[in-house]
Structure 1
């Protein structure tokens, strides 16, 4: 999109720029942006709303923000093409939008993300007083009948070991923070030396998803990787463990590492690393509740989507049935 430009300043500063306007000034600004379908302005408005008027606020993850931004862009493209009045959309238009997304071949999860972004945009327009419309509230969203553990299973042990063998100290620490400590990529990139207690073999995740903190144990191999990394750093050991902090940089580094191993076709991003950790832990403790705490899940049902169970795991249990 030619008119989608990066905003200036941090998110809180931008939120204040909108929230600090008088009611009428904010309403007029939002109405004008909706009339013109001005992507940069509507994205800025959405950012201001989700930053100041949602429970996640400034802690909303970069991944979610990227998904929202893309979703706003896609919706506005569709609205321009089909002559939507954003403030008064036709009663059947939102369902047709979802149908168009589905028929384009997008996966159900991607369609759901696009609808979530559209809902966030309309929440922002209501927040600004530009409309009362909530057109996606009752729209049916496609469901994916394939389990996520089947679509995106954990990495295999031989793949993880191959990456670790070729990784530099930074990459090795990042890999093990996900594959052994079960951290999300945003959590792994945010870990600071002050959060690491090698003596007590644990790590503090200071700001997990939803801004919830948790403590996770450190495996022997992860402790070795952190000790080796710390030995390279001058005293005092402070700041972040992983020097590159951007999601895109981390992705490119690990993708290049997989290419170096000749296994680039097996690289599927970061979540498969967390699933590797969850699957290993469940195999050891056989307790979804404990694995949920380790991964930072509020609901055990979420954890079940992260653990790959062996197909014959009930064989021994039923062997002695009478």
Structure 2
């Protein structure tokens, strides 16, 4: 007699590991039936919970998948399910041409290639979870062609300009100043910046430990004089209320709102483009000083130097002096 599910797994009520255990702890048959039922009903809540459990327990990043990636995946799963409902998809046995039509519809709706790619990545994550649960063998997006963006990222979203960074720092409070400088001087990703604790900082040796970078890789980042000064000021402010974390906020949305309001305070809200332009600022400034992509890659925490090239804006006159000497 095959096992049958006796109770639905508890949806997310703690950390990601708790969520993963709620599903992984089921028998194979119970998990398979649960997943098939969710796919049949196109149950967005249950399918996302299943995807999250798979991402947390059966991928290399595991429970350290970044909150930003999870937000993008959750949105992508929701969009796919809306499309599947509208076009009467059978999720466990999708039509051979349906996935390509889905991608085409995303492009036709006016989404940028990068956004379409993110939606497809989310769809792949959902189907990986369904396969993990034994609900299907289908991998419908495995061979689907994805649109490519021919415009370089450094052109679409260039580094912040120095005068904008200085204007932000001039109006920033102690926490905002440290956050701006962790992005623009230390070159941290926003998730890395928000996770920094005082125990990661060695002001005497001018070093910052990024304990859990992308892919759970650690690295050491040097601290600029201006960043050390900002950290000292923040530390002095928090002496009466000691805490392990630098910031009183930890959510991506809270950090975004703080810097957006800061740009508005400067009268330059139209120049604020999120966090990544700050990281590109750091990469561009460092490359201008060392002229070595390999060293910049290590600083930014990139495995591939080709990735780093997308973070560095080269000046238009970069080759002028070299060309002048041609004979």
Secondary structure class of the residue paired with 1:141:
coil
Aligned match of 1:71: 76
Aligned to 1:189: 194
Equivalent in 251, 257, 275 of residue 252 of structure 1: 257
- TM-fit CA distance, 1:194: 0.3
Describe how 1:1-322 pairs up with structure 2 within 5 A: 7-234=12-239, 238-322=243-327
8 Å CA contact 1:178–1:185 kept in 2: the answer is yes
Q: Distance in 2 between matches of 1:51 and 1:83?
A: 30
Mapped partners of 1:147, 1:195: distance in 2: 34
Q: Quick check: 1:16–1:48 contact (8 Å CA) kept in 2?
A: yes
CA contact (8 A) 1:15 1:48 kept: yes
Distance in 1 (CA, whole Å) between partners of 2:124 and 2:248 is: 35
Q: Secondary structure at the match of 1:239?
A: coil
Rounded Cα–Cα distance in structure 2 between residues aligned with 1:182 and 1:223: 14
Contact preservation (8 Å) 1:178, 1:188: yes
- Residues matched between the structures, number: 317
Tell me how far 1:7 sits from its aligned partner.
3.1
- CA drift of 1:46 comes to 0.1
Structure 1 residues 158-210: Cα deviation after superposition (integer angstroms, max 9, x where no partner): 11111100010000000000000000000000000000000000100000000
Question: Structure 1, unaligned stretches of length 5 or more?
Answer: 1-5
Q: For 2:167 and 2:226, how far apart are their aligned partners in 1?
A: 15
1:203 alignment partner, SS class: strand
How well do the aligned residues superpose, as a CA RMSD in angstroms?
A: 1.0
Large movers: runs of 4+ above 4 Å: 235-238
1:3 alignment counterpart: none
Conserved in 2, the CA contact under 8 Å of 1:173 and 1:242? no
Partner of 1:215, secondary structure, is strand
Q: Would the aligned equivalents of 1:193 and 1:237 in 2 still touch at CA under 8 Å?
A: no
Task: Report the alpha carbon displacement of residue 234 of structure 1 after superposing the two structures with TM.
Answer: 2.1
TM-score normalized by structure 2?
0.96
Q: Note the residue ranges of structure 2 that are not aligned, 5 or more in a row.
A: 1-10
In 1, are the aligned partners of 2:12 and 2:18 still within 8 Å (CA)?
no
Give the whole-Å Cα distance in 2 for the aligned partners of 1:18 and 1:60. Answer: 18
- The superposition leaves residues 2-36 of structure 1 with CA deviations (integer Å, 9 ceiling, x where unpaired) of xxxx8321110010000000000000000000000
